A = this chain, B = another copy of it.
Amino acid sequence: MRRIRTIVVHDVAMPIRTAEEYIDSLRNRDLKVYLFGERVAEPVDHPVIRPSINAMAETYRLAETDPDLASAQSADGGRVNRFLHIATSPDDLVAQNRMQRRLGQITGTCFQRCVGMDAVNSLYSVTYEVDQAHQTPYHERFRRFLSHVQTENLVVGGAMTDAKGDRSKGPRDQADPDLFTRIVERRDDGVVIRGAKMHQTGCVNSHWLIVMPTIRLGPGDEDYAIVAAIKVDNPGLTFIYGRQSGDTRAMEPGAADAGNAQYSGQEAIIVMDDVFVPNEHIFMRGETEFAAPLVERFTNYHRRSYVCKTGVGDVVIGAAACIADYNGVAKASHIKDKLVEMTHLNETIYGAGMAASHEAHQRPAGNYEPDAMLANVCKHNVTRFPYELGRLAQDLAGGLMATMPSHREFDSPETGPLLKKFLTVREGVPVEDRRRMLRLIENMTMGRNAVGYLTESTHGAGSPQAQRIQIGRAMDVAGKIDLAKRLAGIDSDDD
């Protein structure tokens, strides 16, 4: 039953054209989603999950309202959602960044579709190169898959982060071999895989997942070198939904204390319990030496995708400016100066990300990839500056952000009038508006969307140290030493 419906909705008939059709496409999939210890009957209607679906839906809506920004002409001729487009020029990559910033502004959180975009772009060149080396058929297969999801306009998630167990040990040295996703059975018509992917951003609201290895692999690790597309409603998948600070406010009537009632991110653990993948959806199988290039290329795309946080940062700055205005201090020099500092930091992130895209280079497969150094620098600033923006936003918000009573008090006959009297600020500002703006700042700096704005900024696309390692590799110490020796008048052959 489920399968038939699914075929009707996703695979055959109607490509998704609107945000609403996208939301409808997620219904009735009978996913095994668990939240608060219970299986969720219909994720689309769950108040905690729905805001993350709404955020993803904006990627469809923007393609409707601003097609130049959020869709692209594919190589094969059709107009496709930009999240499904392979970048064939630096401008394509730059357009991704612009779209990401805009969606950050629209949702105030993570809209969850970048992982897939960056996964398909990196797989495009990697599959090509694997084929060149091994006469494998991955690239053609991958293009067919891509053409399908483009035509149907589906959401593809990229699943990379394994459970990893003891971080001081590799895949084969773990007590439990499943702590890194692996092939447990090789068949003529496909493989069976087992494992789990952590912190999966945007999965319950996706149509497909592409599973990829998470670290450098070597000889002997063949079972871990698996790249495969799996449909989200595959019965072998279990989704265990992650909690977020303040998540249950979405379940309170009216969600009036949610801060950002419409949008949120989504993170889940995906357990793959012996999932069969047919050959046509396998894009790497055992070519271990390509695991590291895949991870590295993916991060080249994805670390610069964190430009999205500058869109979220725009909201944080706007919220801070708004509350200062409400308080009647918008013109104080120290207030203005803090807004300038927030903007400076936010645009510094944007600069590095945009530069990474503009400075892209072409791969033999024909597509373009961002500059590695600048992409890493962009992301590394993302692991720092949003915390500083958050701190400054809290500074401008005032303590009330964290001490404000429940919205239910405002409707209470006993306490409502008292709050309206005593929370009044400058003339013309409804207390209700002040309350809402403070809840938004709370939401973004220590509530639900702080997960997306802060923690994900640290750990998404690799933790800070991962960027430092990449910067260290790319920094060309030897070349810089030569520059210095020349100016110091030192013969470079001395040592």
> Residues of B contacting A373 with CB < 8 Å?
347
* Stretch in A63-71, A280-288, A334-342 with 4+ CB within 8 Å of B: A334-342
> How far is A409 from B383 in the complex, measured between Cα atoms in Å?
30
Contact B198 A166 (CB under 8 A): no
For the residues of A in contact with B, the DSSP-based class is helix
CB distance from A320 to the nearest CB of B (A): 8
List the B residue with the shortest CB-CB distance to A241.
B405
Give 10 nearest A-B pairs by CB, closest first: A37-B408, A318-B480, A351-B352, A399-B459, A242-B403, A318-B484, A333-B333, A267-B403, A319-B484, A402-B455
Q: List 23 A-B contacts (CB under 8 A).
A: A34-B415, A37-B408, A37-B409, A37-B415, A105-B483, A107-B487, A163-B423, A167-B327, A167-B328, A199-B399, A240-B405, A318-B484, A319-B481, A319-B484, A343-B475, A347-B352, A347-B373, A347-B374, A347-B471, A351-B377, A354-B358, A391-B454, A428-B495
Asked whether A351 and B347 contact (CB < 8 A) given A243-B405, A259-B488, the answer is no
Assess whether A278 is interfacial by the CB under 8 Å rule: no
Interface residues of A in 382-417 (CB under 8 A from B): 383-384, 387-388, 390-391, 394-395, 398-406, 408-409, 411-412, 414-415
Interface residues of A in 21-62 (CB under 8 A from B): 32, 34-39
List the B residue with the shortest CB-CB distance to A459.
B399
Assess whether A225 is interfacial by the CB under 8 Å rule: no
Residues 416-429 of A, flagged 1 when their CB comes within 8 A of B and 0 if not, give 00110111111111
Among A401, A412, A455, A463, chain B packs the most CB atoms within 10 A around the CB of A455
Residues 277-301 of A, flagged 1 when their CB comes within 8 A of B and 0 if not, give 0000000000000000000000000
Contact B472 A339 (CB under 8 A): yes
Contact B240 A419 (CB under 8 A): yes
